[in-house]
Amino acid sequence: MKVFITRHIPESGLQLLRDAGITYTEHTEKRNLTPEELIAGCREHDALLSVGGNKLNADFLQACRHLKVIALMSAGYDNLDVDTAAALNIPVGNTPGVLSNATADTAFLLMLAVARKAFYMHKTIEKGEWGFFDPTANLGQELNGRTLGVFGMGSIGTALARKCHGAFDMPVIYHNRSRNEAAEKALGAKYVSFEELLAQSDVLSVHAALTPQTDGMFNAAAFRQMKPTAIFINAARGAMHNENDLLEALRSHSIWGAGLDVTNPEPMDKHNLLLQLPNVAVLPHIGSATEEARGGMARMAAENIIAGLKGEPLPHPIRLVR
């Protein structure tokens, strides 16, 4: 049995495949595969381990209907047409949970970096602009007691809420498809409507899945409803915010700052005007980029491949968010 892997993955995942007697081909060039290359690669293999944003749409799935299993090495599955995969009886799995802590850390890092203009201040030193001590310059915000608003209270949102609650005593409000009673009990988190989330959050952090409902949700109309002192964080998917609207909201002081681990589009252009604003911090989609999380993701994806190739139920099947 042979699996096609679209990027080089951590060794512990490859080891599991080898131990199970599965051979693999890794696409090791540091570039995205074209749709044609992806189909050609899969034709010679029984399974696909997909890393990155390869579009696994209906055309791809029809062309690769022979695949016995598709394992995504990501929690998000917005790049996969799950309905067509189900119709073609191709089992699909992903890697949620294991990256929650790392991704929440990234959101926390962005929140603090924005609040203290940290990335921008670093750049001023590089440019030789560390002037004299001015007690009225470079002022940021303190986070103690500020309200954290979480959009998408799954495991990443809950992990962030726990960190903010513990570190800065931040009251937590959230908006989600359904109530998260565990977070309400453990953290006193309060469920609010989307409008209340916008109006009441001092820091609004996005951790929902990208779906047709959440696509573009953070647009001019949403930013207008936020506090002028609010910080917007997105560590989920860039498509959930409109980047021009975000820039305009920051320039017009409709909101105070923004921290992005995901951009729209990715990669962000180096001339993007957001990068020049003091109250903005941007990272290149490194939410899950820790040894622990990426190793765990590689092993979960390998476990899905091994089970799928044996015709067994996947240990980590995609659990749909509708």
Active site residues: 237, 266, 285
* Stretch of residues binding ligand DGY (CB under 6 A), selected from 14-22, 70-78, 245-253, 275-283: 70-78
Rounded to a whole number of angstroms, the minimum distance from the CB of residue 90 to ligand DGY is 20
Instruction: Pick the binder of ligand DGY from 54, 74, 106, 201 (CB under 6 A).
Output: 74
Question: How far apart, in whole angstroms, are the C-alpha atoms of residue 138 and residue 9?
Answer: 41
Instruction: Pick the binder of ligand DGY from 42, 75, 153, 282 (CB under 6 A).
Output: 75
Nearer to ligand DGY, 48 or 173 (CB): 48
Nearer to ligand DGY, 49 or 230 (CB): 49
Rounded to a whole number of angstroms, the minimum distance from the CB of residue 69 to ligand DGY is 18
Rounded to a whole number of angstroms, the minimum distance from the CB of residue 52 to ligand DGY is 7
**Nearest CA-CA partner of 305 in 62, 25, 31:** 25
Kindly report the backbone phi and psi dihedral angles of residue 151, in degrees, each rounded to the nearest multiple of 5, phi listed first.
Answer: -100, 105
Instruction: Pick the binder of ligand DGY from 246, 288, 303, 306 (CB under 6 A).
Output: 288
**By CB under 6 A, is residue 268 in contact with ligand DGY?**
no
Nearer to ligand DGY, 75 or 282 (CB): 75
**By CB under 6 A, is residue 205 in contact with ligand DGY?**
no
**By CB under 6 A, is residue 287 in contact with ligand DGY?**
yes
- Residue sitting closest to ligand DGY (CB): 76
**By CB under 6 A, is residue 76 in contact with ligand DGY?**
yes
**By CB under 6 A, is residue 99 in contact with ligand DGY?**
yes
**By CB under 6 A, is residue 100 in contact with ligand DGY?**
no
Give the pair of three-digit tokens for residue 41: 């690669």
* Stretch of residues binding ligand DGY (CB under 6 A), selected from 68-76, 110-118, 124-132, 239-247: 68-76
Nearer to ligand DGY, 6 or 74 (CB): 74
Rounded to a whole number of angstroms, the minimum distance from the CB of residue 247 to ligand DGY is 23
The residue ranges that bind ligand DGY (CB under 6 A) are 74-76, 99, 287-288
